[in-house]
């Protein structure tokens, strides 16, 4: 398949691996931001093929993993109040403080697992006597569809639909990681799909302020190895620039139609990241004009506040301070079938990727 098989080609990938081995002279810590990239690195055995001196650090780029416990509890509370809650499948097994959405469904909650928020708007239209909430989790990538669902409900005059928004933004999280005194990261692989929506302009200030190379990178083995090569080459040459490895998809200004839809419905505001805490300007908040489609404003759930499980060190994993197999619970009390934290649930979570694919 065009643009897929070429990027899984072993010979082409090996050429870049050989170059990385040739040019690497010292230890470099490179963080891949996106959980999809982590999954691909681990699944394709790339971590084992890199020189020991090139160390990949797994970043916080799994939206399921960084959705705060209290938002999961809020979604479960809505189910208990008789609301139809709709969600993508990856959220339903993530543990809240007492149970997951799936367990809430098992005791009678009307949870619907969907592929698109527009399906949730249709459900609201079919059930005018019920409230319908879509659990709108994601990075910049899912924000356009969630914003569109609100605009669609408005256009159709549907008033029993709202979203429980948990959108997080990548560049502020990168800045928070770089500002951490424990940060040892020399370079970032930025998430290609996020840049496909938002463009790459937000990354120039990070490069110039923190003097760090950032490579916008795709998800296939060749993408990742080429991105790592571009990062190592810049580091070895003492350069720090923004480069776009994923130019077949990512354009300088992104998808302007998608950005316009996002800006119509959402504004930027502070967001809580699970395991990291609140990061200023790191999330999308529903604008006042669309407040009646904001589940947190519509329902009395704002009082809910849930502490994290103290046995789970997801915060350190998500900030790149520790690897999943450095967690005492990894593979013992915490497994995909019985996860203590979100990174063990999501297919993009670093802990699940290590559990399924990495030799311990």
Tell me if 293 contacts ligand SF4 by CB under 6 A. no
Tell me if 324 contacts ligand SF4 by CB under 6 A. yes
Tell me if 334 contacts ligand SF4 by CB under 6 A. yes
Total number of residues that touch ligand SF4 (CB under 6 A): 16
Tell me if 301 contacts ligand SF4 by CB under 6 A. no
By CB under 6 A, the residues from 161 to 180 that bind ligand SF4 are none
- Minimum CB distance to ligand SF4, residue 140 (Å): 24
Tell me if 329 contacts ligand SF4 by CB under 6 A. yes
- Minimum CB distance to ligand SF4, residue 355 (Å): 8
**Range in contact with ligand SF4 (rule: CB under 6 A) among 187-195, 244-252, 263-271, 309-317:** 309-317
3-state secondary structure of 51: coil
Rounded to whole angstroms, how far apart are CA atoms 79 and 217? 39
3-state secondary structure of 173: helix
Pairing of strands 266-273, 277-286: antiparallel
Tell me if 313 contacts ligand SF4 by CB under 6 A. yes
Rounded to whole angstroms, how far apart are CA atoms 316 and 321? 5
3-state secondary structure of 231: helix
Tell me if 341 contacts ligand SF4 by CB under 6 A. yes
**Of 136, 115, 114, 132, which is closest to residue 123 (Cα–Cα)?**
132
Tell me if 75 contacts ligand SF4 by CB under 6 A. no
Q: Where are the alpha helices (H) located in 27-116, listed in sequence order?
A: 35-43, 46-49, 63-66, 69-80, 101-106
Q: Tell me the Cα Rg of the chain.
A: 21
Looking at 83, 317, 319, 353, which residue binds ligand SF4 (CB under 6 A)? 317
3-state secondary structure of 217: strand
- Minimum CB distance to ligand SF4, residue 137 (Å): 17
The answer to whether the beta carbons of residues 173 and 279 sit under 8 Å apart is yes
Q: Judged by CB, which is closer to ligand SF4: 94, or 231?
A: 94
Q: Judged by CB, which is closer to ligand SF4: 139, or 330?
A: 330
3-state SS of 281-314 is EEEEEECHHHHHHEHHHHCCCCCCCCCCCCCCCH
Looking at 84, 343, 348, 353, which residue binds ligand SF4 (CB under 6 A)? 343
Count other C-beta atoms under 10 Å from residue 153's C-beta. 26
- Minimum CB distance to ligand SF4, residue 293 (Å): 33
- Minimum CB distance to ligand SF4, residue 331 (Å): 8
Tell me if 195 contacts ligand SF4 by CB under 6 A. no
Rounded to whole angstroms, how far apart are CA atoms 272 and 350? 20
Site pattern 243..272 for ligand SF4 (x: CB under 6 A): ------------------------------
Rounded to whole angstroms, how far apart are CA atoms 143 and 263? 10
Q: Which residues form the interface with ligand SF4 (CB under 6 A)?
A: 311-314, 317, 324, 327, 329-330, 334, 339-341, 343-344, 351
């Amino acid at each position: 398949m065009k643009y897929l098989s070429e990027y899984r080609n072993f010979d082409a990938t090996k050429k870049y691996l050989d170059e990385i081995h040739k040019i690497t002279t010292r230890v470099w810590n490179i963080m891949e931001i996106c959980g999809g990239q982590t999954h691909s690195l681990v699944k394709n055995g790339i971590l084992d093929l890199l020189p020991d001196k090139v160390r990949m650090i797994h970043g916080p780029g799994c939206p399921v993993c960084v959705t705060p416990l209290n938002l999961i509890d809020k979604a479960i509370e809505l189910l208990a109040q008789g609301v139809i809650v709709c969600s993508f499948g990856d959220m339903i097994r993530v543990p809240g403080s007492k149970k997951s959405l799936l367990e809430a469904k098992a005791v009678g909650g009307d949870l619907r697992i969907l592929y698109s928020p527009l399906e949730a708007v249709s459900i609201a239209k079919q059930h005018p006597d019920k409230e319908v909430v879509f659990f709108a989790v994601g990075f910049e990538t899912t924000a356009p569809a969630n914003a569109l669902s609100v605009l669609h409900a408005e256009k159709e005059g549907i008033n029993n639909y709202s979203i429980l928004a948990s959108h997080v933004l990548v560049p502020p999280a990168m800045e928070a990681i770089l500002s951490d005194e424990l940060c040892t990261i020399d370079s970032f692989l930025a998430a290609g799909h996020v840049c496909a929506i938002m463009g790459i302009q937000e990354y120039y200030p990070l490069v110039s302020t923190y003097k760090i190379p950032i490579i916008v990178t795709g998800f296939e083995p060749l993408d990742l190895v080429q991105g790592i090569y571009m990062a190592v080459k810049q580091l070895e040459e003492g350069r720090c620039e923004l480069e776009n490895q994923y130019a077949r998809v990512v354009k300088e200004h992104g998808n302007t139609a998608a950005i316009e839809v996002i800006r119509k419905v959402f504004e930027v505001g502070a967001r809580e990241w699970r395991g990291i805490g609140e990061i200023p300007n790191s999330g999308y908040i529903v604008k006042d004009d669309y407040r009646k489609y904001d589940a947190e404003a519509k329902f009395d759930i704002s009082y809910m506040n849930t502490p994290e499980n103290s046995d789970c060190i997801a915060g350190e994993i998500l900030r790149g301070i520790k690897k999943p197999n450095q967690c005492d619970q990894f593979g013992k009390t915490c497994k995909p079938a019985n996860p203590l934290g979100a990174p063990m649930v999501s297919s993009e979570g670093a802990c699940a990727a290590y559990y399924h694919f990495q030799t311990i």
